[in-house]
């Protein structure tokens, strides 16, 4: 079957830099705590009204499309990964299709949080392999700054996340030694609530003994959103950080090894590993476990925080722009996040 290759890549981050010290205005935290636990020094926040998840995706896509040597009208399928969409529905894919004046092509939104981009890339890869499409735009974008709890109550989550977007154009590989070698996707819903945003939703407290929202007094028409939910701060993401950490440091190395083994490689063969930028400590743990050198792992969480579905394409783009990825290099993308879902992609650049 025809392999696919990344023909163009782009990234966009908002100009507004928010340092750890800037967060002291909103919550009880410290630069020292954040850097020590996560490695993050600063992140970017989108302009409140002028930028959205889709507009940032558009900016990254323009660059990726131009670098692929095509125009938006050449795109024949869109896969858009995000957990912070402009609208609850429809998804960002159609908003991007409209904004970029593309043809009436298919637009698919992927809701796999931190592993969203790897999932989206894998979906696109299958469509290229079967010959169904020739120019697929794969986007990861997030505007976290709009939906976090910026009080001390939400500090374990809000200090971690940042805004930004990355995009790639996937095309059939013309050179047989180039392109995506394989992708590997996994999930384990046992811990779905460990990193989650429950409301608004239709769960009706079905899945947990613990109440995630007060529905008892609610009438039809009051269940999806209520003042009560807002008053009790039940509309923000929840995370059991240590539990996420423990699972991530097992699943990252596992899924990287799965990709390497499937293609007859070992860790020392990797030119660059792009791990999802969840937490610098997680990436360092993975590096140590696989005995990779500093040159083999690219991290930029220090500057951008965790940008969820955007983190892999942003890091990949930046690494490539800095000349750290060259033609023929073995590149591994790996991600883990809410769900839990995790995955990897191994490619020859
Ligand atoms: C979130 C994370 C940084 C927290 O670090 P930790 O060492 O596990 O810290 P804990 O959650 O055990 O909390 C330790 C203390 O720090 C406090 N704390 C939490 N957030 C804080 C913040 N932003 N600033 C200051 N103190 C904070 C807690 O309240 C707690 O205080 P206590 O001991 O008085 O109760 C860490 O668990 C982590 O990175 N986990 C993985 C998260 C992740 O990668 N998420 C994205 C998945 S894709």
5-35 pLDDT, tens digit per residue, is 999 999 999 999 999 999 999 999 999 999 9
Read off φ and ψ for residue 11, nearest 5 degrees: -140, 155
Q: What are the residues facing 138 on neighbouring strands?
A: 79, 168
Read off φ and ψ for residue 141, nearest 5 degrees: -150, 145
The Å distance, Cα 6 to ligand 1 centre, comes to: 36
Whether 243 lines ligand 1, by a CB cut-off of 6 Å, is no
Cβ contacts of 36 within 8 Å, gap of 6 or more:
none
Determine how β-strand 195-196 pairs with β-strand 4-12: unpaired
Ligand 1 pocket mutation pick from 119, 156, 280 by most atoms within 8 angstroms of CB: 156
Tell me which residue has its CA closest to atom 44 in ligand 1. Answer: 278
- Read off the pLDDT of each residue in 283-294 and give the average, rounded to a whole number: 98
pLDDT band for position 166 (50/70/90)? very high
Q: CA 50, 147, 191, 260 torsion: positive or negative?
A: positive
What is the pLDDT, as a whole number, of residue 1?
84
In terms of Cα–Cα distance, which of 244, 326, 338, 252 is closest to 287? 252
Q: Output the six-digit token pair for 215.
A: 């529905």
pLDDT band for position 119 (50/70/90)? very high
CA distance 312 to 276: 5
Q: How far is CA 95 from CA 80, 101, 102, 283, in A?
A: 10, 10, 10, 33
- Read off the pLDDT of each residue in 125-153 and give the average, rounded to a whole number: 97
CA distance 261 to 254: 10
CA distance 115 to 192: 14
Is pTM beyond 0.85? Reply is: yes
Q: Is 184 a catalytic residue?
A: no
Ligand 1 pocket mutation pick from 24, 27, 37, 116 by most atoms within 8 angstroms of CB: 37
* Cβ 169 vs Cβ 65: under 8 Å: yes
Q: Output the six-digit token pair for 40.
A: 């993050």
* DSSP structural state of residue 34: H
User: At 94, is the secondary structure helix, strand, or coil?
Assistant: helix
Neighbours of 66 (CB within 10 A): 14
pLDDT band for position 219 (50/70/90)? confident
Read off φ and ψ for residue 7, nearest 5 degrees: -95, -20
Cβ contacts of 261 within 8 Å, gap of 6 or more:
none
Nearest atom in ligand 1 to 23's CA: 23
Q: Is the pLDDT of residue 230 over 90?
A: no
CA distance 177 to 31: 45
């Amino acid at each position: 079957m025809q392999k696919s290759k990344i023909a163009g890549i782009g990234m966009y981050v908002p100009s507004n830099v928010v340092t750890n010290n800037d967060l002291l205005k909103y919550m009880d935290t410290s630069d020292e705590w954040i850097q020590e636990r996560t490695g993050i020094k600063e992140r970017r926040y989108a302009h409140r009204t002028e930028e959205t998840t889709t507009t940032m995706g558009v900016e990254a896509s323009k660059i990726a499309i131009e670098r692929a040597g095509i125009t938006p009208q050449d795109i024949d399928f869109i896969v858009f990964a995000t957990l912070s969409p402009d609208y609850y529905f429809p998804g960002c894919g159609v908003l991007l299709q409209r904004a970029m004046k593309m043809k009436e092509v298919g637009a698919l939104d992927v809701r796999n949080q931190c592993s969203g981009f790897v999932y989206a890339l894998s979906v696109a890869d299958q469509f290229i392999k079967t010959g169904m499409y020739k120019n697929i735009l794969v986007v990861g974008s997030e505007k976290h700054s709009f939906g976090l709890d910026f009080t001390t109550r939400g500090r374990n989550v809000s200090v971690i996340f940042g805004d930004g977007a990355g995009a790639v154009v996937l095309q059939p590989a013309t050179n047989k030694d180039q392109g995506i070698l394989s992708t590997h996707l996994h999930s384990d819903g046992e811990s779905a609530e460990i990193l989650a945003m429950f409301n608004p939703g239709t769960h009706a407290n079905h899945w947990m003994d613990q109440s995630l929202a007060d529905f008892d007094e609610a009438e039809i028409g009051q269940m999806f959103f209520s003042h009560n939910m807002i008053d009790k701060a039940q509309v923000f993401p929840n995370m059991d950080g240590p539990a996420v950490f423990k699972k991530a440091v097992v699943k990252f190395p596992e899924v990287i090894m799965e990709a390497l083994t499937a293609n007859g490689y070992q860790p020392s063969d990797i030119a660059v590993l792009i791990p999802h930028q969840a937490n610098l400590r997680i990436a360092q743990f993975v590096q140590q476990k696989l005995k990779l050198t500093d040159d083999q792992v690219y991290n930029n969480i220090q500057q951008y925080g965790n940008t969820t579905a955007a983190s892999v394409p942003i890091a990949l783009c930046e690494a490539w722009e800095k000349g750290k990825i060259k033609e023929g290099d073995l590149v591994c993308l790996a991600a883990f996040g809410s769900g839990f879902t995790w995955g990897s992609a191994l490619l020859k650049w």
